[in-house]
C-alpha cells in the first residue's frame, strides 16, 4: 500500500467509558473503560485489522469511529474533517462515505424489508436514485456481491447466512463509501463461506480502492486480509505492525501469546506449550501499571507501576511494553 502523506482516517486518543450505575439516584458508581486512549491511522486502499479477545473493546472502537456511539474523549478525522464536531446533518452526509458490515447476518437485516429496500433505502433517502434508476443501481450492487438482480423482490429469511452477509455488504456498498468497518464480518460464517466472503471483500477493495477497518478475533482471517494489524488488550492497543512483521516477529508478550494460542490445522502439531494462564481482568478495575502484567510471563517490576508509553520500533511498528522502552517517541 502506498504510504501517501495524508491518511484517510486518523484516530487520536479515542476513549469510551461506560458508566456503571448503582444506588437510588442511579449515579455513575464506576466506569468501564471499554476503550482507553486508542490511536491509529488508516490510509486509502489499506486494510487495518483490529484483533483481541472478546470484550477488549474492538467493536466499541469501530462504533465510536463511525460515531454510532459517542466517545468519551478523542479525535477522529476522516478525510480531514473532524467527525466529532460535525452537526447532525453534516454527519448524515458523511455517513455516505463510511459504512459498516456486521457480524450477525440475521439480526443485521430488517426482517420486514425486501432485499431491494434494504440495499436501496439509503440511496433513496439521500436522493441519489429513484424509481427505475434505483432498481437498476440496487441490481448492479447485488450482482457485484454475487447475488441475482431478481433477488430484490425477496425477503432476507429466504437466504442462507452467507447470502445474507452478501446482502449486508451490498447495503454498505450501495452508497459507494471510501471506508468500511467490517465488524467480525465473517466470524459467523462457515469456513468455506468465510473464504468466499473474504475474497469478495478483497476484490471490491481492489476495484474501488476502499479502506477497511477489519475487526476479528480470527488470526488466520486477519493474516489473509490485513495489511497492518493492531492488537488490543483491555481497551488499549498494545502493538501495531504490518501483518507480515507482526506474525513473523511479534514483540509484545500478549501478541506472542495470542499467536501461540492460534490453533494450527494439523493434528500432529501439539498444542502450544505455555498458553496464557489466568483470565482477562475486569475492565472496571484494571490492574495497576500495565494491564497485562498479572498474566505476562516476562513482567518486570516496572510493569506494576506505570502503563508503558508507545515505543516506535520502526516507522510502521509500535508497541506499548516496558521490555522495549529504550527510545521514547
Partner 1 sequence: MSTPAALLHTQPVIVETPIGQFWHMLRKDRLAVAGLVVLIALVVIAVVGKALTEWVPAFNPATVRLVDKLRPPMAPVSSIIQAEEHPIGGVYIFGTDELGRDVLSRMLQGSSVSLLIGFVAVGISTVIGILFGGIAGYYGNLRLGPMSVDTIIMRFTDVMLCFPTFFLILTVVALLPPSIYNIMIVIGATSWMGTTRFVRADFMSLRDQDFVIAAKALGLPEWRIIFRHMMPNAMSPVLVSATISVADAILTESALSFLGFGVRPPFATWGNILADGKAYIFDAPWLFFIPGLAILLIVLAFNLLGEGMREALNPRLRSR
Q: Which residues bind partner 1 (CB under 8 A)?
A: 25, 63, 66, 68, 91-96, 98-100, 102-104, 107-112, 121-122, 125-126, 154-155, 168, 171, 175
Closer residue to partner 1 in complex, CB, 181/226:
181
Q: Smallest gap, in angstroms, from Cβ of residue 98 to partner 1?
A: 8
Helices (H) and strands (E) in the chain, counts: 9, 12
Distances (CA, A) of 49 to 40, 61, 298: 11, 12, 26
End-to-end CA distance of the chain: 24
Q: Smallest gap, in angstroms, from Cβ of residue 104 to partner 1?
A: 6
Closer residue to partner 1 in complex, CB, 105/283:
105
Distances (CA, A) of 273 to 93, 149, 244, 256, 270: 52, 52, 23, 13, 8
CB 184 within 8 A of CB 217: yes
Q: Smallest gap, in angstroms, from Cβ of residue 220 to partner 1?
A: 24
C-alpha cell read off for 185? 464480518
Closer residue to partner 1 in complex, CB, 95/228:
95
User: Vertex 36, ends 275 and 306: CA angle to 5°?
Assistant: 70
Q: Smallest gap, in angstroms, from Cβ of residue 68 to partner 1?
A: 6
Measured CA to CA, the distance from residue 60 to residue 66 in angstroms comes to 10
Nearest CA to 148 among 163, 168, 133, 169? 163
Closer residue to partner 1 in complex, CB, 3/68:
68
Q: Smallest gap, in angstroms, from Cβ of residue 123 to partner 1?
A: 9
User: Vertex 227, ends 172 and 211: CA angle to 5°?
Assistant: 25
CB 180 within 8 A of CB 128: no
Closer residue to partner 1 in complex, CB, 67/223:
67
Closer residue to partner 1 in complex, CB, 42/100:
100
Q: Smallest gap, in angstroms, from Cβ of residue 243 to partner 1?
A: 27
Closer residue to partner 1 in complex, CB, 41/104:
104
Q: Smallest gap, in angstroms, from Cβ of residue 133 to partner 1?
A: 18
Measured CA to CA, the distance from residue 241 to residue 50 in angstroms comes to 11
| Element containing residue 311 per DSSP (H, E) | strand 311-312
Quick check: helix, strand or coil at residue 141?
Answer: helix
Q: Smallest gap, in angstroms, from Cβ of residue 177 to partner 1?
A: 10
Burial of 103 (0-12, 13-18, 19+ CB in 10 A): buried
Amino acid at each position: 500500500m502506498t504510504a501517501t502523506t495524508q491518511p484517510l482516517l486518523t484516530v487520536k486518543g479515542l476513549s469510551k467509558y461506560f458508566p456503571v450505575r448503582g444506588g437510588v439516584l442511579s449515579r455513575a458508581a464506576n466506569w468501564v473503560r471499554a476503550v482507553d486512549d486508542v490511536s491509529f491511522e488508516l490510509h486509502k486502499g489499506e486494510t487495518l485489522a483490529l484483533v483481541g479477545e472478546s470484550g477488549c473493546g474492538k467493536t466499541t472502537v469501530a462504533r465510536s469511529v463511525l460515531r454510532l456511539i459517542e466517545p468519551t474523549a478523542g479525535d477522529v478525522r476522516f478525510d480531514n474533517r473532524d467527525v466529532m464536531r460535525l452537526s447532525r446533518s453534516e454527519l448524515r452526509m458523511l455517513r455516505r462515505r463510511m459504512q459498516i458490515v456486521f457480524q450477525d447476518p440475521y439480526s443485521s437485516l430488517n426482517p420486514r424489508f425486501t432485499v431491494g429496500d434494504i440495499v436501496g433505502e439509503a440511496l433513496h433517502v439521500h436522493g441519489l436514485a429513484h424509481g427505475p434508476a434505483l432498481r437498476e443501481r440496487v441490481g448492479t450492487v447485488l450482482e457485484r456481491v454475487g447475488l441475482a438482480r431478481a433477488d430484490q423482490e425477496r425477503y432476507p429469511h429466504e437466504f442462507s447466512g452467507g447470502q445474507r452477509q452478501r446482502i449486508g455488504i451490498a447495503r454498505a456498498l450501495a452508497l459507494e463509501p471510501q471506508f468500511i468497518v467490517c465488524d467480525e464480518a465473517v466470524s459467523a460464517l462457515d469456513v468455506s463461506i468465510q473464504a468466499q466472503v473474504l475474497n469478495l471483500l478483497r476484490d471490491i477493495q481492489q476495484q474501488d480502492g476502499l479502506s477497511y477497518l477489519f475487526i476479528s478475533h480470527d488470526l488466520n482471517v486477519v493474516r489473509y486480509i490485513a495489511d497492518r494489524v493492531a492488537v488490543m488488550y483491555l481497551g488499549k492497543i498494545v502493538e501495531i505492525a504490518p501483518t507480515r512483521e507482526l506474525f513473523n516477529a511479534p514483540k509484545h508478550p500478549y501478541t506472542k501469546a495470542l499467536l501461540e494460542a492460534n490453533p494450527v490445522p494439523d493434528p500432529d502439531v501439539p498444542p502450544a506449550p505455555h498458553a496464557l494462564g489466568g483470565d482477562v481482568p475486569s475492565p472496571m478495575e484494571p490492574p495497576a501499571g500495565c494491564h497485562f502484567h498479572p498474566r505476562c510471563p516476562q513482567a518486570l517490576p516496572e510493569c506494576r507501576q506505570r502503563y508503558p508509553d508507545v515505543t516506535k520500533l520502526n516507522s510502521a511498528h509500535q508497541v506499548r511494553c516496558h521490555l522495549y522502552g529504550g527510545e521514547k517517541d
